[in-house]
Amino acid sequence: MTHEFRHPIAARAAVLAVVLLLASCGSVGDAPSTSAGPSKFVVSTGATALGTVLVDGRGRTLYELTSDTAARSTCTGACLVAWPPVVVTAPPAAGAGVSATLGVVAAGQQLSVNGHRVYTFSRDTAPGQSSGQGIRSFGGTWWALDPTGVPITQPGTRPPTPTNSSGDVRGY
């Protein structure tokens, strides 16, 4: 049995309805489908050796660099390879247990937590890892964030990191 549309406008309307239906099923960036909806970038919490930290939609630990400000990032060039910025393509939303203030900086693309730009660490390859904690490189120190968005800086959170003469971690 075949269906024919005798009117070209009806045929176009049917195609448009199918396209809109399929488009509404997708998600944006790292945003998982949650009660916040697929049109949000959800920041959640995750368990690490440091305790509970903020994580992105893939479970990667979020870090801030002490030398950054909301107006200016000191992470450029090679830094961006080791420490990818968390880029959002939808408004950020706090998942369960997150009380930090979320926002967007850098021309509306980089996630901020309590006004500070955030990044992931390239050597954290799976959820629950926080191997970037306390690294001194690229002009500052990298700290994971607790659910309130406060840097976790207590002593003993990371073994000393060898640095070169410029203060950057070896290998970066």
Q: What is the pLDDT of residues 40-53, one digit of tens each?
A: 899 999 999 999 99
CB 61 within 8 A of CB 46: yes
Asked whether residue 63 is domain-assigned, the answer is yes
For residue 19, pLDDT over 90 is answered with: no
H/E segment holding residue 16? helix 8-23
Q: Where does the pLDDT of residue 38 fall: very low under 50, low under 70, confident under 90, or very high at 90 and above?
A: low
- Mean pLDDT within 60-75: 92
Note whether residue 124 is domain-resident. Answer: yes
* DSSP-derived secondary structure letter, 62: P
Instruction: Name residue, tokens 């909806």.
Output: 37
- Residue 2 in domain: no
Confidence of residue 82 (pLDDT cuts 50, 70, 90): very high
The structural domain count of the chain equals: 1
Residue 9 inside a domain? The answer is: no
Q: Is residue 50 part of a domain?
A: yes
- Kindly report the backbone phi and psi dihedral angles of residue 63, in degrees, each rounded to the nearest multiple of 5, phi listed first: -125, 155
- How many CB atoms sit inside 10 A of residue 140's CB? 17
Average pLDDT estimate for 66-77: 89
Report yes or no on 117 lying in a domain. Answer: yes
Q: Which domain holds residue 86?
A: 29-144
